[in-house]
Chain A
Amino acid sequence: MKIDKNTINKIARLSRIKLDDKESEDYIKDLNSILDWVEQLNEVNTENVEPLSNISSSILPKREDVSNDTNSSGEILENAPDKLEGFFAVPKVVE
């Protein structure tokens, strides 16, 4: 088994998702079955194969180096769950 209780807790922590015990158990089962299934990729010989990360043939175009000041902080904050004086507000981080 690739995923045990410790691993799922570690992944959940990295993902910033709180899991209860029941959920952890379910995901241990799901993830193990998915990982067993993707194991078949090991049959494929990929020696000297370049990994494909971008299928697009287009080369990144350069844009003109011009400044662009849209000053849209009001718009950006419009959907914030909590804001204060033009900033996003979050629980206190430093005492």
Chain B
Amino acid sequence: MSKSSLKQTLKDLETKKISIRELNQVYLKRIKEKDNLNVFIHFSEENVLKQMDNLEKDNSAKKLKGIPIAIKDLFCTKSMPTTAASKILENFNPTYESFVTQKLLDEGSIFVGKTNLDEFAMGSATNTSFFGNTINPLSKENEPLAPGGSSGGSAAAVAADLCLGATGTDTGGSIRQPASFCGVVGIKPTYGLCSRWGIAAFASSLDQAGIFSHNVEDASILLQSIAGFDQRDSTSAKVDIPNYFENLDDDLNGKTVGIPKEYSIDGTPMEISQIWEDAIKVLEKKGVKIKNISLPHSKYALPTYYIIAPAEASSNLARYDGVKYGFRSDEIDSLDEMYENTRAQGFGREVKRRILIGTYVLSAGYYDAYYLKAQKVRKLIADDFNKAFKECDFIVTPTAPSAAFPLNEKQNDPIKMYLNDVFTVPASLAGLPGISIPFGKDKNNLPLGIQILGKHFDEQQVFNAAVSLERSYE
């Protein structure tokens, strides 16, 4: 492993092989060198130095003391502005800290900056951001590739080694797909494991915070740090959080993996099918029983998602009206004019598209035909998984239907863009934990990802299967 891992760095800090200052200077230097990737919406060297100064004065033991972490700019942070990559929040300075970032601060981590994303997390290429595209660090010169999305900045920050871990959010695949595109590990835990308090809401019944890291061990350490019950999020779960890292066990002998036949989709590139088969073979060698399973409603997951997510978004984004915070238009002859111009000028094209479609499917006369119908199909999709998990311990699939594509390639046709999420959306609708790990390369030497899904709150099994596959691949 060429890149330093979080686990190793924690050891080096403990044995004083390196100081917090030396460590963060390395990252600061690299961040400045890689400025052209447009990974960060907000980066302030001064702010990082200040955090270092404060930590050096702090004698208490902290689990992530001095560890440089990048934060998706959807998490509210007191020390840095929060934009959701939207003009409408361009000058927003939160007066409170999100649950997840507070947990990371309590553990002593250093926030290197706020990473770029698709506006309000709506997109799959980090190209709907008001602050411009992020470039995938694996791009060749003059052939910029998309980092995936929506958490493309966070995935790129880890891939370019600008931090030892990053936070992301995943609504339909926004952690797993960019992790796959950038060749890093990304985990979306079970819905409810991490509080959504202080995360700009997109689709509240689907949004979940998670982690990007260089490897599975690091992800297990960081996920434990951000998980936990919080009474300010009514869907936050009261479950015991195990020590995922201590409990990591790559011995999968006797376990059963489910292989859903519906994930073999016409038009999927050979290379993707190949790495899927390779992963299954590796598992078989480890004594894992292979079980062919069926998730019959999988093909309806995308249309279901693209009704439910915009519907919830249209409601959540109603709060951006130019009254309480953020951007307000200058053309404000009346209150209604103020609302309509503020939102017309403050939101980008994809966000407006989703607000409009969401408003339509929720409007009188269409609610039952679209929104209620989608919620019923969602139930069938969730039931499919419940049945499947009676026969297997975890499920393995590809993460995305392609490797990283050139920037801007898929911008014009929304449905084509939505197909990026074909393998990730079903588990989102069912609220299941899923991880993407790098596994194999395509013919252009770009990384591909394997996705492992687990039962509700069985992140440990997901990590165990992931670490086992990772160790056999390296």
CA distance A30 to B191 in the complex (A): 31
Q: How would residues 36 to 80 of chain A score, 1 for a CB under 8 Å from any chain B CB and 0 otherwise?
A: 011011111010011111111110110100000000100110111
In angstroms, Cα B304 to Cα A70, docked, is 41
B303 touches A55 (CB 8 A): no
Q: Which of B49-57, B211-219, B286-294, B323-331 contacts A (4 or more CB under 8 A)?
A: B323-331
| A3, A58, A88: most-surrounded residue (chain B CB, <10 A) | A58
0/1 string, B415-458, CB within 8 A of A gives 1 = 10000000000000111000000000000000000000000100
* Cβ of B114 under 8 Å from chain A: no
Which residues of the partner chain A approach B334 to less than 8 Å between Cβ atoms?
91, 93
Partner of A63, one of B231, B236, B325, B372: B231
B322 CB-CB contact with A under 8 Å: yes
- Inter-chain contact B300/A44, CB cutoff 8 Å: yes
List which B253-300 residues lie within 8 A (CB) of chain A.
297, 300
Contact of A51 among B96, B234, B314, B372 (CB under 8 A): B372
Enumerate chain A residues within 8 angstroms of B91, measured Cβ to Cβ.
79
Q: Give the contacting residue for B355; candidates A15, A37, A49, A88; CB below 8 A.
A: A15
Within 8 A of A (CB), among B69-115: 91-93, 95-96
A17 at the interface (CB under 8 A from B): yes
CB distance from B374 to the nearest CB of A (A): 7
* Chain A contact residues, majority secondary structure: loop
A14 to B358, CA, bound (A): 11
- Chain B residue numbers with a CB within 8 Å of A35 are 357, 360
Q: Mark B356-392, 1 if CB is under 8 A from A, else 0.
A: 1101100100000010111111111010000000000
Task: Please report which residues of chain B, range 222-252, place their CB below 8 angstroms from some CB of chain A when the two chains form the complex.
Answer: 231, 234-238
Q: Report B2-30 CB contacts with A as 1/0, cut-off 8 Å.
A: 00000000000000000000000000000
A79 in contact with B191 given A51-B379, A54-B205 (CB within 8 Å): no
Does the CB pair A58–B355 fall under 8 Å? no
Contact status A91-B338, CB under 8 Å: yes
CB contact between B335 and one of A54, A60, A90 (< 8 Å): that residue: A90
- Min CB distance A70 to B, Å, is 11
CB closest residue in chain A, given B341: A18
What residues on A are CB-neighbors of B314 within 8 Å?
A: 15
Indicate if the CB atoms of B238 and A61 lie closer than 8 Å.
Answer: yes
A53 to B371, CA, bound (A): 10
Nearest residue (CB) in B for A45 is B380
Let me know if B62 is at the binding interface, CB within 8 A: no
Contact between chains at A57 and B456 (CB < 8 Å): yes
Partner of A3, one of B307, B360, B375, B376: B360
For A23, what are the chain B residues with a Cβ–Cβ distance below 8 Å? 352
Give the CA-CA distance A42 to B304 in the complex, in Å.
11
**A33 and B414: CB pair below 8 A?**
yes
Establish whether residues A80 and B93, one from each chain, have CB atoms under 8 Å apart when the complex forms.
Answer: no
Q: Whole-angstrom distance between the alpha carbons of A21 and B439 in the complex?
A: 47
Minimum distance in angstroms from A38 CB to a CB of chain B? 4
Determine the chain B residues whose CB is within 8 A of the CB of A52 once the complex forms.
375-376, 378-379, 382
How distant is the Cα of A44 from the Cα of B328 in the complex, in angstroms? 44
Q: Which residue of A lies closest to B192 (CB)?
A: A56
Find out whether the CB atom of A17 lies under 8 angstroms from the CB atom of B380: no
Query: A16 touching B379 by the CB < 8 A rule?
Result: no
Q: How far is the CA of A19 from the CA of B343 in the complex (A)?
A: 10
A8 CB, min distance to chain B CBs, angstroms: 7
Smallest distance from the beta carbon of B329 to chain A beta carbons, Å? Answer: 9
Q: Pick the contact of B303 from A8, A38, A63, A76 — CB < 8 Å?
A: A38
B237–A57 CB distance below 8 A:
yes
Shortest CB–CB separation between residue B97 and chain A, in angstroms? Answer: 12
B42 vs chain A, min Cβ distance (A): 16
- On whether the beta carbons of B344 and A19 are closer than 8 Å, the reply is yes
Complex Cα spacing A82 to B318, Å: 19
Question: A1 an interface residue at 8 Å Cβ cutoff?
Answer: no
Q: Would you call B197 an interface residue if the criterion is a C-beta within 8 Å of the partner chain's C-beta atoms? A: no
| B12: min CB distance to chain A, Å | 39
A44 to chain B, nearest CB (A): 5
Give chain B residues whose Cβ lies under 8 Å from the Cβ of A31: 353, 356-357, 360
* 7 examples of A-B residue contacts, CB within 8 angstroms: A33-B414, A41-B304, A41-B377, A52-B376, A52-B382, A58-B235, A75-B96
Q: Which residues of B contact A (CB under 8 A)?
A: 91-93, 95-96, 191-192, 205, 231, 234-238, 297, 300, 303-304, 306-307, 314, 318, 321-328, 332-341, 343-344, 347, 352-353, 355-357, 359-360, 363, 370, 372-380, 382, 414-415, 429-431, 456
9 nearest A-B residue pairs (beta carbon): A51-B375, A55-B431, A79-B325, A81-B328, A46-B376, A52-B379, A18-B340, A38-B303, A18-B344
